[in-house]
């Protein structure tokens, strides 16, 4: 039982590592929380410091979603452990223990989790994100579109994971409530 608790703690702590903040401080001396949207995620890192660091943040944030799931899949037989590992990784990113339980929106970390669950559903969501973002230049619209698309993809390709997908979607939608309000108000930032 201790090993199960440690595995979940590992997922939460890894999920909480604020790579966007770390990369900004390390390479530019910038606290990304004080610029742009104030978010620690890849979109704001790209907005403030360019696409290179933004892309690195995206990959690292996705990896911290995928790695706990892969580790649990390799070391544990309990079927509930895999979704639990993914859930705690996303929660760790959104409510980082390293940042006084403040964090990012969770989209890249959730993408890493979903890549392990269903690469096909994740590819569908990525395509939909790209199309929505390309048309609007607003990452939040891309993210909201991807959240919907992953549900469709899971329903088609991995229906046994659909409820898990809904739980992840609920967390992401909660984290995007400010973006939704800004979209309604017409004040949501674009990414150049």
What are the pLDDT digits (tens) for 133-172? 999 999 899 999 999 999 999 999 999 999 999 999 999 9
Q: Is residue 192 part of a domain?
A: no
Residue with tokens 């891309």: 142
What are the pLDDT digits (tens) for 89-101? 999 999 999 999 9
Query: Taking 70 as the threshold, does the pLDDT of residue 42 lie above it?
Result: yes
Local confidence band at 6 (pLDDT 50, 70, 90 cut-offs) = confident
pTM above 0.85, yes or no: yes
Give the Cα-Cα-Cα angle 90, 122, 110 (nearest 5 degrees).
5
What percentage of the chain carries pLDDT values higher than 90? Answer: 85
Tokens of 135: 């048309």
Q: Is residue 190 part of a domain?
A: no
| DSSP string for residues in 176-187 | THHHHHHHHHT-
Task: Using DSSP, state whether 112 is helix, strand or coil.
Answer: helix
* Structural domain of 15: 2-96+104-185
Query: Taking 80 as the threshold, does the pLDDT of residue 191 lie above it?
Result: no
Q: How many folded domains does the chain comprise?
A: 1
Q: CA 71, 20, 45, 25: dihedral to nearest 10 degrees?
A: -150
Q: CB 94: neighbour CB atoms within 10 A? A: 21
Q: Using the Cα atoms of residue 186, residue 188, residue 191 and residue 192 in order, give the sign of their dihedral.
A: positive
Q: Is residue 30 part of a domain?
A: yes
Question: Which stretch of DSSP H or E encloses residue 174?
Answer: helix 162-175
Q: Is residue 169 part of a domain?
A: yes
């Amino acid at each position: 039982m201790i090993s199960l608790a440690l595995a979940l703690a590992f997922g939460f702590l890894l999920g909480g590592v604020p790579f966007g903040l770390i990369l900004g401080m390390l390479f530019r001396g910038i606290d990304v929380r004080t610029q742009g949207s104030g978010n620690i995620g890849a979109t704001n890192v790209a907005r403030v410091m360019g696409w290179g660091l933004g892309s690195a943040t995206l990959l690292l944030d996705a990896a911290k979603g995928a790695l706990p799931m892969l580790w649990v899949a390799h070391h544990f037989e309990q079927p509930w452990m895999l979704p639990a590992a993914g859930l705690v990784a996303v929660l760790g990113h959104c409510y980082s223990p390293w940042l006084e339980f403040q964090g990012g929106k969770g989209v890249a970390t959730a993408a890493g989790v979903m890549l392990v669950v269903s690469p096909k559903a994740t590819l569908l969501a990525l395509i939909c994100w790209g199309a929505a973002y390309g048309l609007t230049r607003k990452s939040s619209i891309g993210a909201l579109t991807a959240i919907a698309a992953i549900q469709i993809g899971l329903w088609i390709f991995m229906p046994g994971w659909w409820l898990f997908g809904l739980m992840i979607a609920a967390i992401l939608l909660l984290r995007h409530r400010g973006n939704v309000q800004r979209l309604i108000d017409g004040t949501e930032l674009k990414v150049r």
